Structure 1
Amino acid sequence: MNLEEIYKDAGAYLKGHFLLSSGNHSEYYLQSAKVLEDPILAGKLADELYSVIQKSGVEFDSVCSPALGGILAGYELARAGKKRFIFTERVEKVMSLRRGFSVSKGEKFIVCEDIITTGGSALESAKIIEELGGEVVAFAALANRGFCSLYGFDNARKDSCKLPLDKPLFALGNFEFEIYTPDECPLCKTGSKAIKPGSRGN
Structure 2
Amino acid sequence: MSGSNRSVFTRRLLDDCGALITDGHFVYASGEHGPGWIAKDIINTVPSRPRDLGAMLAEAVAEAGIEADVVCGPAVGGVICAQYTALAMGIECIFAERHREDGRETFRLNRGYDVAVSGRRVLVVDDVINTGHSTGLVLDAVRAAGASICGVATWINRGNVGHRELGVDRFIFLDEIELPSIPAAECHLCRNGVPVNTDYAHGAEFVSSQK
- Which residue does 2:34 correspond to in 1? 26
> TM-score of the superposition, structure 1-length normalised?
0.85
Contact 2:26–2:203 (8 Å) recurs in 1: no
Q: CA deviation at 1:61?
A: 0.7
Give the AA of the match of 1:148.
Answer: V
- Which residue does 2:201 correspond to in 1? 198
Identity among equivalent positions (%) equals: 27
Q: Which moved more, 1:38-47 or 1:99-108?
A: 99-108
Give the AA of the match of 2:72.
Answer: C
Tell me, yes or no, if structure 1 residue 126 matches structure 2 residue 149.
Answer: no
Aligned residues: 191
Unpaired runs of 5+ residues, structure 1, are 151-156
Contact 1:103–1:134 (8 Å) recurs in 2: no
Tell me, yes or no, if structure 1 residue 6 matches structure 2 residue 13.
Answer: yes
Give the AA of the match of 2:172.
Answer: F
Give the AA of the match of 2:122.
Answer: F
Summarize the alignment of residues 74-113 of structure 1 with structure 2, pairs less than 5 Å apart.
74-92=82-100, 93-101=105-113, 102-113=115-126
Give the AA of the match of 2:110.
Answer: R
Structure showing the higher helix proportion among its residues:
2
> Deviations for 1:46-75, whole angstroms, at most 9, x for unmatched residues?
111111110111111110011122111111
SS of the aligned residue for 1:173 comes to strand
User: CA, structure 1 residues 199+34, in 2 after alignment: closer, same or farther (shift >3 Å)?
Assistant: farther
User: CA, structure 1 residues 44+199, in 2 after alignment: closer, same or farther (shift >3 Å)?
Assistant: farther
Moved over 4 A (4+): 199-202
**Cα RMSD (Å):** 2.0
Contact 1:25–1:194 (8 Å) recurs in 2: no
User: CA, structure 1 residues 26+56, in 2 after alignment: closer, same or farther (shift >3 Å)?
Assistant: same
- Which residue does 1:72 correspond to in 2? 80
Contact 1:141–1:172 (8 Å) recurs in 2: yes
Summarize the alignment of residues 31-42 of structure 1 with structure 2, pairs less than 5 Å apart.
31-42=39-50
Q: CA deviation at 1:199?
A: 6.3
